[in-house]
Amino acid sequence: MARVGFVGWRGMVGSVLMQRMIDEGDFAGLSPVFFSTSQVGVPGPEVGGTASAPMENAYDLDALAAMDVIVTCQGGDYTKAVHEPLRGRGWAGYWIDAASALRLERDSLIVLDPVNGDRIERALESGIRTYVGGNCTVSLMLMALSGLFRESLIEWISPMTYQAASGAGAANMRELVAQMGAIHAGARNHLDPASAILELDRSVGATLMADAFPRQHFGAPLAGNVLPWIDSEMPGGQSREEWKAEVETARILGLADGAVPIDGLCVRVGAMRSHAQALTIRLSEDVPIDRIESLIAGGNDWVRVVPNERERTLQQLTPAAASGRLDVPIGRLRKLSMGGRYLAAFTVGDQLLWGAAEPLRRMLAILRRSGRISVE
Ligand code: NAP
């Protein structure tokens, strides 16, 4: 029975992964071992009605080396600290990772099997043992547009993102709600419809700028605000999140660097869960909109075309509607006034599912199906 180590399972991505694996019966026939960097000795999660053994130390290389597979949602610093020493001592198990640290390594592959299942198969055959989930907005964009990529219809894309608080982790979600609470607490005497609206406006503005306003994790108010910078600074003015779009897309699809330029601005918004993005796409030819819609709809089993109508857009094409669902809706599809090769689109998806946990869960399932790890 394959021993599968789970690291970082308590966090945002890890919790969603645990839930999906339980829902899909993925633990059957596996021997899971739970690790933590901070809660060693504390009981692991209950799986299939059975309590897990106390958690092992996620930095213990001997304990990790006893695993056939390690699935980690712990984060890039952890991966950098542990992966190389573990490989260095000859560990030849499968490493499945949510963090970005190993995505561009020569002997790893970014996994998104509805889009690059053929590349995963070839990587397994060639002996690759490190499989990494892609950046959340990149994976969601590819799930939405795989039908157009398959027909080589995309010349370039400019994505403008609207990314939820949960994309930054569990602590940031709590901070967003704390910020919402602080705003409401500060404004509660000005909510009567008969009160002066400028008093409410002033109260909210003062709360947002107060020293006591909770902003430890985001570094700024997110509630009642938007933050047009995600991740670190790169040379040339991009944020790291923006830089990943083109680089990771090429890596997932096996395209030459620069073959499809993808560049835009990444923005954090006060949604709790699910990332949205507005896409400007230059097509390689002027394809009629109904043909575009049918190509997109046929891209994979999860993409859903939402008709470009007000009511359906407001009901189906929002983070609130997409959260907790594997469907990836895409709508607002129309040609821009710049000409027939300019396509507008808006897509949204649960970044904790297709943008994080789901490709990892499915990679483990691929290892099982292919007989590369044993199940009982
Ligand atoms: P996270 O919520 O901050 O969790 C990471 C780890 O922090 C946990 O597994 C846990 O590890 C530790 N932790 C400390 N205090 C905690 C608390 N009070 N509650 C829960 N966990 C706590 O991070 P994440 O968003 O899951 O991201 C993990 C990795 O996935 C990162 O590399 C991230 O870049 C990547 N990723 C995230 C998303 C997303 O949408 N969030 C999408 C794609 C990729 P210990 O048990 O070891 O303490």
Compute mean pLDDT per 10 residues along the chain, 376 residues long, and list them: 96 95 95 97 89 95 98 98 98 98 97 98 98 98 98 98 96 97 97 95 97 98 98 97 98 96 98 98 98 98 98 98 98 98 98 98 97 89
- Is the CB of 79 within 6 Å of ligand 1? no
d(CA 246, CA 108): 18
d(CA 146, CA 155): 14
pTM exceeding 0.75? yes
pLDDT score, position 79: 98
Q: Which helix (H) or strand (E) holds 275?
A: strand 275-283
For every residue of 99-122, DSSP letters joined together read SSTTTT-TT-EEE-HHHHHHHHHH
Residues in contact with 286: Cβ distance below 8 Å, sequence separation at least 6, in sequence order: 339, 340, 341
d(CA 171, CA 10): 12
Provide the residue type at 366 as one letter.
I
pLDDT score, position 376: 77
Residue 36, SS3 per DSSP: strand
Provide the residue type at 95 as one letter.
W
d(CA 78, CA 99): 9
48: left (phi over 0), alpha (psi -120 to 50) or beta: left
Residue 332's φ and ψ, nearest 5 degrees, are: 50, 30
- Is the CB of 132 within 6 Å of ligand 1? no
Centre a 10 Å sphere on the Cβ of residue 61 and count the other Cβ atoms it contains.
14
Distance 16 CA to ligand 1 centre (A): 11
Residue nearest to ligand 1 atom 3, measured at CA: 169
Residue nearest to ligand 1 atom 46, measured at CA: 36
Residue nearest to ligand 1 atom 7, measured at CA: 11
Give 208-265 pLDDT, tens digit per residue: 999 999 999 999 999 999 999 999 999 999 999 999 999 999 999 999 999 999 999 9
Closest CA to 230 of 104, 106, 97, 100: 100
Q: What angle do CA 351, 352, 358 make, to 5 degrees?
A: 105
Centre a 10 Å sphere on the Cβ of residue 239 and count the other Cβ atoms it contains.
17
- Is the CB of 38 within 6 Å of ligand 1? yes
- Is the CB of 82 within 6 Å of ligand 1? no
Closest CA to 275 of 163, 154, 368: 163
Among 6, 9, 13, say which to mutate for ligand 1: greatest number of ligand atoms within 8 Å of CB: 13
The residue count for the chain: 376
Place of tokens 């107060």: 210
Residue 45's φ and ψ, nearest 5 degrees, are: -75, 160
For every residue of 244-276, DSSP letters joined together read HHHHHHHHHHTPPTTSS-B-----B-S-SS-EE
- Is the CB of 299 within 6 Å of ligand 1? no
Provide the residue type at 248 as one letter.
E
pLDDT score, position 49: 81
Among all residues, which ones are annotated catalytic? 136, 275
Question: What percent of the chain lies above the pLDDT cut of 70?
Answer: 100
Residue nearest to ligand 1 atom 16, measured at CA: 11
Q: Which stretches of 159-262 are DSSP H helices? A: 170-187, 197-209, 240-253
Closest CA to 3 of 112, 91, 78, 75: 91
pLDDT score, position 50: 83
- Is the CB of 14 within 6 Å of ligand 1? yes
